[in-house]
Structure 1
Amino acid sequence: MSRAPFNDKVAIVTGGGSGIGRAASQRLAVEGAQVVVADIDLPGAERTVELIAARGGQAVAIRADIASEQDNQAIFDLAEERFGGIDAAFLNAGMIQPYGPLEALALETFDRIIAVNLRGTYLGVQQARARLRPGGSCVVTASLSGVIGFAEGPAYAVSKHGLVGLVRSAASAFAERGTRINAICPGMVLTGMTGTVGLEAIDDPDEVADPAYRGALSAQQIAEVALFLLSRRSAGINGQAQNIDAALLSAFPPLADML
């Protein structure tokens, strides 16, 4: 008999204080998980915990800068100490650079983007590999910018390309421990990071609206794919990067749009 896929499971979500991370944290809790919500914005993480508690779920917030090795360790320590282990790690935290061309990209900006998005997620991946229980899963938030270039965000694209390579390269190391790792590559998502107001509420997953063809997606539309990859329902998927883009990269646009 089917049951909630995360019953008796423990999940970590980084960047859980807003956007995709907030939606994923709430959905994991609804599906039975105990959730550690990590974010550099502690009030944001605490608000996510409040939303989970309002639905009867269990969660705890922690402030963490994923660029810090100590903070990454503290996230996983908290999950083990509070809930007894870790079954799912959604390494979603990251930052976007100010839009601009390559010639305007300052070295210090490039270094900070790489330190957070690539090095910081690498630190989380190392923790996940060592500490996920057998059968567990890690999902990393990359981007369509990890699949193609991004002329107005070259440092961001470099960091996300690196994450796709990291996930593919780490698949065997995770498999050796009976766990898995995959990446999601969202297109345009309507969150605060892209300059839109994110929604706090989540919908029944069977009632989530379809995005427009080649259009922007909601945070929950991205979160639902992450949950699938975190669950045992995707046991045959390891080392993959899944585009979530409403077919944006599936084909050239109509010629009339290009002329």
Structure 2
Amino acid sequence: MDFNDPALEHLVNKITIALQENNREEAARYMDIIIEEYPEVANILMNSIEFQTLMAENEEMAENESRALSDEDIIKPGNSMEIDEQRVIDDMNAMLDIEPTTAQEFIQKGTVLTITEQFEDALDCFNNALELDPNNLSALISKGNTYELMENYEEASKVYDIVMEVEATDIYDLMSKGYVLENHQRFDDALKTYNKALKSDKNNSNILFLKGSCLIKLQKHQEAVDTLDECIERYSDNPYETIFELENAYHNKGVALHALEED
């Protein structure tokens, strides 16, 4: 599953590693962050084939390990692993039970409803959020993603048309808007959006990565190399935590350098 936001990709990789290590508590913690910070894509992740396959493999691994344990060591009801799973379920059920009063609460509840494939109810939540905050990009993008999961691409396209025209100022909103613009082949507008975000935070490595990748699509390869070099420098400040982002940045820089050789 491909993500254009390296911060989001980093979180997804953390979940993947945690599940491979059978560390469900850690996986649940990172999923909570994604639901909080990226509600518009949390539903897509939860329903992706890759994620479902990984969860199934993790369940099988846990089952095999439990068979190998002695009677004294076998996980009993109330043990930490069971509590971790139950906590996630309880958190989701609690979210479904609340009566939202703010746009963010409607978005969070709508995201959980989408994950549980209650699409019509999810759309109601996103619409309620938009009544409170008509230009809320998280609500709009979540609504568009839900229409896509329903395979109602015409309605999804209408929503994304609105997203592309909304005036954004928040850095995360600008990143999300740039992502949508890129997906609709509006690379010049996406670049302007990333530059606007960089005016607020010129050293933001994630925005630099997005800008560099966008410049490649615009065939501005030398600018892309320069931008990705700056991005790599920022990521290198903490290489252990940004190893996946560094790998992606170096890869894209390689693409740009290869294109320069052919020019």
TM-score, normalised with respect to structure 1: 0.31
Instruction: Name which one, 1 or 2, has greater alpha-carbon Rg.
Output: 2
Question: Taking structure 2 as the reference length, what is the TM-score of the superposition?
Answer: 0.31
Which of the pair has the greater relative contact order for Cα pairs under 8 Å at 6+ separation?
A: 1
Structure having the higher helix fraction is 2
Greater share of residues in strand: 1
